[in-house]
Structure 1
């Protein structure tokens, strides 16, 4: 039999929005192509910068869309961000959380104490919440200026929605940067912690990162020293990939996930 792309790897680290679904619609054939890769023995991990939903909610959404998956195959930037804090702080340290209840839950799982005030906070963990406002950003600014460790789950400036591009977590991170003259550590793509943790969880030696965005998925793979596949079902185009410096280009470009079962 001829070699296929999946024969070269032992795990797939797969982006979600724009790669396996677009909003509430499945990318045609995505579930079937991933199922075939799993049947060949590859580890599967859905790796998302979205820090506002719990891993269980992400898994439930995928199942609703027809994917055969579970919470064990989901890695979020909320998990990666909480893990970064747990590596750097003593147990039961107080963390000011900017984000949803799902982000607070990840902080609690790591033995840390979430709070919504700067008083006593030794760290700030920032993720996107649709209810985030000035008062929460002000508390975070006070904590950061007082020396709190600052971790951003991701720095995506925009959020794709049915209404178009809306402010993403990176827009609020930029506001705090301006207010504090500080720079956060970053958990999500294109930083490396999220991808590295996903590969470690799978005990993968040859992971392939798959996504639709050059500035997060592919650059994250480059930064982590991993091979990558850009699929043309979302944001970035083949022309944009070709225009990049060689060291930033994806390893492969394919129209969709069907390229996994042949060579591009």
Structure 2
């Protein structure tokens, strides 16, 4: 029986509300800034209510962008970031689930060593191996291309590890029953393991989509053509330009628009995302 403690309940909710307010307040200030004129936030007093320039600022950034900053229109950068995030997500999950399946269910020499070699790559993020990776991409002629933006980021030791740990929890009786029914490795993978992995795939999809969306260093390094700029690169260019002639209303409008796709992904996949993180019984 759970005791009813009003004071403890009140303190719990107060802490949660305070935490939410701390997180939301900077986002609210960014939204307010995106609805005012260019000189409003240079007066030393930040307004707390929306202004009258919201439609003007957002439509300008989406349609034409900020040409003097060297960044293309925001809609093009949003499309580039969306494609990049989707390709990275699908590629990482596809490669990771297949490699984890091979490591767990196929008997071949040095399979444990292969897994640990994959796992050790967690210690080598893109920033550490960026020079040889850039050299390979440049020699293959993949600069200023979607393949160059996504291919070096597709392999994922983390996803491979998570899928491997999940496959180890699947009862061996399922594999034996599938084998008795005449199911081969491909059919067992497609008809049994993939449906069981649905929540794990959903949870990883959210995480990997956001990972691909916020990439900055790699796109900045291999992209010189504005047609392949991502939204994070565009915001950086706008912010750098703002140091010379501040137009924070346009910068904040770009920031708010850049937040929408990952937020929508989290909202629409929230149920499967939470279920994939907390579910223990398969």
Task: Please classify the TM superposition score into its range, dividing by the shorter chain length.
Answer: under 0.3
* TM-score normalised by structure 2 residue count: 0.23
| Greater strand share, structure number | 1
Q: Which has the higher helix share?
A: 2
